Amino acid sequence: MNRIKQPFERPLPAEPSRYSAGPRSLGANLLANRALRRIRNFKRATGPKGWGFLVFLIGLSGLAFVGLLDWATGKEISFSILYLLPIGLAAWHGGWRVGAALSVLGASAWFGIDRLGGVIYSHAYIPYWNALVRFGFFLLITYLLTRVRLLTSRLEFLVQQRTSSLELEVNKRKGIEQEMADLHVHEQERLAHELHDNLGAYLAGLAFRAKMIAEVLGQRNAPEFSESSELVHLINTGIEKVRRVARLLVPIERGNQDLESALSRLGEEVERFFGITCSVQTGLNLPKLNGEQAEQLCRIAQEAVRNAIQHARAEELEIKVKVEGDFFYLVIENEGKPWDPSMALPVRGLGLRIMKHRSERIGATLSITRREQGGTCVTCRLPLIYPAPHEGILPLGETREPKQGNYTYGENARFGR
């Protein structure tokens, strides 16, 4: 007999936060990304020549500022490394030509300040040699920075290209998984309709003909009357079994939002058809899910129950539904053969992949673990959004696109996000 219990008391372990950075770090990253985006947009709007000229003016202003500081502080304090700042920044953002032009101006400014500052050398050609060495140094730094910039740009382009290819492959894989899940549901519905409409109707006609024959044999007091009556009973039992199988294949109709009644009906059909114990336990004040979420959760429960009966040889099943914190939980436990995570990757069962895809489709997290007392526990955790109190609790799928969920093999191993 299917049992509905309330409420589900045993808490599930809480998941750690996905974000390790605080709100200040996240805000700073957002501001930095916004500033970089504005700079890229301005660079596209001005064009290569306009951007290079602007960078040249900014670098020239920086050189003028450093030159004034060098002139004001006198010949005893050296500002040689400060000349590299505007030259290096201009070479990085403006390219080789802008950096080379500022290198010439920087070396000339240094030479002029030394000459005007009254620096005395032992030979007349020494200041020219020093200016040439400084110019070569600035030019070398400019060349290295432009090469690093070029290699970095190429690397970024390759990363973007590989990322785009990877995203395309991931989207294709998601599309294939979606088609597989839809095909799985379509085949179940088609099989259920075939059983109910064709085989069920055929058996009903056969039962009617057998009943007519039994009535004729009863009127004649024939000795075959008892056997014909038993045949009618067996055919009617077969019709009922066919109907149960059809209902078991389609536990919830598309668009139906009543998850609790669908799970209760699933538990009843499992008990009647397989002869095992399947209890349904629901929590209090459960939120109303949309049709997509209710259907996917019911399909996950259906597949988990089928795996428990077929692979774990379970005799007792328990389906639990509850809300804890900001999450909606669907838990299917059995006391059969324990879950073996080492068999998940080599076997690559279609049912597990479909369950994973269904959970990701509604933004949920799917986990499969061993129970301490023996058996297997399948948990699907769906995040909820809590708006204003008068608006009630709305599931995540009704307000924004769901994010990719996680898939857990074993007790602690995690794959996915």
- Looking at the fold, whether 272 and 165 belong to one and the same domain comes out as no
* Sequence-ordered strand ranges (E) for 64-199: none
- For residue 246, is it within any domain? no
Higher pLDDT, 286 or 414: 286
306, 308, 312, 314 alpha-carbon torsion, rounded to 10°: -110
Q: What one-character-per-residue DSSP string does 189-219 give?
A: HHHHHIIIIIIHHHHHHHHHHHHHHHHHHHH
Residues whose CB falls within 8 Å of the CB of residue 294, separated by 6 or more in sequence, listed in order? 252, 256, 257, 258, 259, 262
* Cα distance between residue 213 and residue 232, in whole Å: 10
Of 131, 150, 174, which residue constitutes the final position of a domain?
174
CATH number at residue 416: 3.30.565.10
- For residue 331, is it within any domain? yes
Residue 143 banded pLDDT, cuts 50, 70, 90: very high
Q: Which residue has the tokens 């199988």?
A: 245
Q: Are 333 and 376 in contact (CB under 8 A)?
A: yes
Residue 69 has pLDDT above 50, yes or no: yes
What does the pLDDT average to over 209-221?
A: 83
Residue 371 banded pLDDT, cuts 50, 70, 90: confident
* Cα distance between residue 87 and residue 57, in whole Å: 11
- Looking at the fold, whether 160 and 273 belong to one and the same domain comes out as no
What's the confidence (pLDDT) of residue 343? 54
- Looking at the fold, whether 154 and 44 belong to one and the same domain comes out as yes
What does the pLDDT average to over 1-25?
A: 43
Q: What one-character-per-residue DSSP string does 226-247 give?
A: HHHHHHHHHHHHHHHHHHHHHH
- For residue 257, is it within any domain? no
Instruction: Report the range of poorest mean pLDDT among 15-24, 171-180, 272-281.
Output: 15-24
* Cα distance between residue 295 and residue 196, in whole Å: 21
Question: For the chain, how many structural domains are there in total?
Answer: 2
> Which of 135-139, 260-264, 386-390, 413-417: highest mean pLDDT?
135-139
Residue 60 has pLDDT above 60, yes or no: yes
Of 174, 205, 227, which residue constitutes the final position of a domain?
174
pLDDT digit string (tens) for 372-412? 888 889 999 999 864 433 344 444 444 434 344 433 333 33
- For residue 214, is it within any domain? no
What's the confidence (pLDDT) of residue 218? 84
| Segments forming the whole domain that contains residue 303 | 267-417
Please say whether the dihedral angle defined by the alpha carbons of residues 125, 126, 127 and 132, taken in this order, is positive or negative.
positive
Average pLDDT over all residues of the chain? 76
